[in-house]
């Protein structure tokens, strides 16, 4: 079966010399950009020349690895791990995807540290003066050391008695990760449905959903009484199991196979959603995801999920 090996990075890792060369329009070929990886590419039997997906930032080469190779088992393949290690040394992500059904019809995305730059509950806690205690619990939850629901309950308790005005202040300070709008708008323009599914809170999810253009969102609800945060969360809590359930539910609603789905997230709470999805991507992922999820974007912004689907920069919407 034919595959595409995709190499990608972000502008912050592109050298001044390379940027200057681009401005002068002396464009190097994708083959030249990938020349340093030719030795590690050979076990995958590259076919023909590499091509740019986004000049200077992303290129792909079609390959036909041995019939025993499957992209889902890439993390168990020494040759692929060697290629990834070589690319990582140059701040470049390398991923391998099947060409069949490459462009997905459904996107489910985590919010915190994925679509937005921060962990929103940590950010809220910092403004409320309890940042250290909340962040310590967050890190253990992201790493999979403690149950997400338990961690969420414990963190929100620390906010009890704080004025609701902190929630409005958080809306004003949220920052989208690079490529968030392009990702959603480009997939929408090509007929995909896009949803935020997060353990975060709906007051912020609605705001972020509108900024990016998601079709909808699902999250948790923080209870407020008389303009004060009660420290309680409405049950049931949306956790890692619920994220995977939403993925399956939307496949049923839309009449699509789960292989036609993409999902992206950064922490242990996203593991089941990413594992079930046709194209599950660990975005700046934590250790558990890096050990489990083959598709990884550690140096590339959210445009990386478009590159994995074979979109060219000229096709991006929302720039």
**5 within 8 A of 69, measured Cβ to Cβ:** no
In contact, 263 and 270? CB cutoff 8 Å: yes
Catalytic residue among 78, 90, 93, 110: 110
3-class state of residue 58 by DSSP = strand
| C-alpha atoms less than 13 angstroms from C-alpha of 75 in its C-beta half-sphere | 10
Burial of 21 (0-12, 13-18, 19+ CB in 10 A): middle
Residue 110 a catalytic site member: yes
Q: Is position 112 annotated as part of the catalytic site?
A: yes
Residue among 112, 122, 270, 301 flagged as catalytic: 112
94 contacts: CB under 8 Å, gap ≥ 6: 5, 6, 7, 37, 83, 84, 87, 88
Q: Is 176 helix (H, G, I), strand (E, B) or coil?
A: strand
Task: Report the interhelical angle of 180-189 vs 202-212 (nearest 10°).
Answer: 60
Q: Among all residues, which ones are annotated catalytic?
A: 110, 112
């Amino acid at each position: 079966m034919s595959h595409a090996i995709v190499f990608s990075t972000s502008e912050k890792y592109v050298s001044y010399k390379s940027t200057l060369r681009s401005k002068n329009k002396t464009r190097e070929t994708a083959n030249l950009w990938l020349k340093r990886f030719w030795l590690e590419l050979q076990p995958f039997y590259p076919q023909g020349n590499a091509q740019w997906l986004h000049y200077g930032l992303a290129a792909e080469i079609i390959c036909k690895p041995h019939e025993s190779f499957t992209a889902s088992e890439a993390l168990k393949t020494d040759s692929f791990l060697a290629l990834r290690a070589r690319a990582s040394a140059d701040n470049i992500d390398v991923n391998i995807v099947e060409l069949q059904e490459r462009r997905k019809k459904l996107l489910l995305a985590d919010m915190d540290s994925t679509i937005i730059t921060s962990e929103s509950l940590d950010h809220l806690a910092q403004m409320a003066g309890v940042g250290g205690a909340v962040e310590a619990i967050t890190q253990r939850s992201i790493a999979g050391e403690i149950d997400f629901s338990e961690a969420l309950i414990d963190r929100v308790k620390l906010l009890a008695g704080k004025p609701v005005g902190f929630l409005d202040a958080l809306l004003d300070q949220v920052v989208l990760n690079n490529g968030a709008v392009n990702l959603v708008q480009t997939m929408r323009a090509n007929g995909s449905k896009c949803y935020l599914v997060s353990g975060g809170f709906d007051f912020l999810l609605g705001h972020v959903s509108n900024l990016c253009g998601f079709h909808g969102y699902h999250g948790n609800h923080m209870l407020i009484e008389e303009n004060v945060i009660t420290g309680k969360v409405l049950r049931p809590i949306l956790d890692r199991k619920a994220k995977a359930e939403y993925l399956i539910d939307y496949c049923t609603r839309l009449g699509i196979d789960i292989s036609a789905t993409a999902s992206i997230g950064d922490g242990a709470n996203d593991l089941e959603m990413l594992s079930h999805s046709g194209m599950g991507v660990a975005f700046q992922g934590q250790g558990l995801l890096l050990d489990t999820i083959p598709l990884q974007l550690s140096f590339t912004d959210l445009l990386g999920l478009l590159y994995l689907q074979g979109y060219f920069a000229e096709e991006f919407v929302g720039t």
